[in-house]
Amino acid sequence: MADIHRIGNVAGDVIVSGPNLTERITRELETRLIEGVWSPGERIPSERALATSLGVARSTVRAALQRLIARGLLKTRAASGVYVSDRLQTGLISPWRQLVGDHPELRPDMLEFRLMLEGTTAYLAAVRATDEDLARIGELVDGLVAAHAHGDTVLESRLDGDFHTALANASHNAMLRHLQGSVVKMLYEHISLNNAGLTELREQASETILAQHLALWEAIRTRQPDEARRIMREHIGFVWRKLEPESPVPIVP
């Protein structure tokens, strides 16, 4: 994120505002949204808190927020505050949702794209993950192990998604992070389940899936990017074969 903590020009106790400063504040807030400082659905800090942290007048922050609301990046809730919309995710992929649903022949293309996308994400996570990223991923792995031990397939499935999201965040690539969430969600929205669905898959193959997650975590933790990419692709291919046994897993470079 841009290293901008206090942007306003302070002369004594007077904080200078104006169109140029409003644009700079708007860009700073955009950067925070792009970099995932605030997640979709999350309430952002108050005008007062933002004004204090950025060193500008509340009127400047208010004007910047209004610009982002007009662009659909933020949304207001009556008597509640300003929240992050899901525009950055859904806006990238929404035209494809109906197409994939209406044209099952596109699903292998989606899988191929996911293999490339998440394989690269895992590779970069192994290279770029910070100590904070590793701590977060480690917490999720511990949660997956505990949920599996207790037979809580619902919690395990939720943590599975959080695990993949954490890897995307650890890639420190804004496009990969936003695309990963959108593509994976769309794939599972429209996938044709041959048995009882993802819950049954979890019950039947949870041992293998957990082992893959643990191997992936070890590759990222020990900074082995090629191995992380290989394991991620193996994991995605395994899940695909369980859900779509008649569709071959594509080979990607």
What length is written for the chain? 253
Q: What is the mean pLDDT of the chain?
A: 81
Residue 90: predicted pLDDT: 63
> How far is the C-alpha of 13 from the C-alpha of 79, rounded, in Å?
31
- CA 6 to chain centroid: 28
> How far is the C-alpha of 162 from the C-alpha of 143, rounded, in Å?
10
Contact present, 147 and 159 (Cβ < 8 Å): yes
What domains lie within the chain, and their CATH numbers? Answer: 9-84 (1.10.10.10), 88-243 (1.20.120.530)
- Is 172 strand, coil or helix? coil
Contact present, 9 and 16 (Cβ < 8 Å): yes
- Distances in whole angstroms, Cα of residue 171 to Cα of each of 8, 21, 120, 220, 234: 32, 31, 9, 11, 19
> How far is the C-alpha of 95 from the C-alpha of 215, rounded, in Å?
35
- Is 108 strand, coil or helix? helix
* Per-residue pLDDT tens over the stretch 155-165: 888 898 889 98
Sign of CA dihedral 33, 35, 31, 176: negative
Q: Once rounded to an integer, what is the mean pLDDT over residues 183-187?
A: 66
* Per-residue pLDDT tens over the stretch 29-56: 988 887 778 878 889 999 999 999 999 9
Say what the pTM is: 0.68
Contact present, 168 and 181 (Cβ < 8 Å): yes
